[in-house]
Amino acid sequence: MLILRCPYCGVDAEETDLAPGGEAHLTRHGPGSDDAEFRDYLFQRRNPRGVHFERWRHAFGCGKWFHAARCTQTLEVFGTYSAQCSEPPEEIMTAIRTRRPDWEMPA
């Protein structure tokens, strides 16, 4: 069972209180992009074994979207953070590097 702390309510919300939103920090390719970019934006997703960044929504609670950094292999949660950012904040990166010294942010 995955438990994530909603950064807006501050509650430790169990997975059944939440709705998953898939991979985080995607770059939107819309008008002006080529077909391959648009295809990748729509369909191509990382599926890492290990550190992953995701979007979740506190669906049964405050209704807000937020971000979570966790390990897909162990379900360890490195932290949750605001939806209003396009990359993980420094404290999340520090938490990940502390726990996974060999990990590198994928390009």
Partner 1 sequence: MSEAVTALAGATYEGAVTVADGGLTGMVQLRADLADAAVATAVKAATGADLPDRRRISAAKEQRLLWMSPDELLILTDHGAAPDLVKRLSTELTGQHALVLDLSDARSRIRLSGQGVREVLAKGAPVDLAPGRFEPGEVRRTRIGQIAAAFWLLSETEAEVICFRSVAPFLFDWLSTAARPGSLPGHFR
Contacts with partner 1 by CB under 8 A lie at 8-11, 13-14, 16-17, 60-64
Which partner in partner 1, Zn ion, none is near 10 (CB below 5 to 8 A by kind)? Answer: partner 1
Contacts of 72 (CB under 8 A, 6+ apart): 48, 49, 50, 52
User: How many CB atoms are located within 10 Å of the residue 103 CB?
Assistant: 14
Q: Please give the C-alpha separations between residue 88 and each of 34, 39, 47, 77, 95, in angstroms, as whole numbers.
A: 27, 25, 18, 14, 11
SS3 91: helix
Least distance in Å: CB of 20 to Zn ion?
15
Residue 18 touches Zn ion, criterion: CB under 5 A: no
Q: How far is the CB of 5 from partner 1 (least distance, A)?
A: 13
Closer Cβ to partner 1, 10 or 31, answer by number: 10
Q: Given candidates 9, 26, 59, 95, which one binds Zn ion under the rule CB under 5 A?
A: 9
Q: Contact between 6 and Zn ion (CB under 5 A)?
A: yes
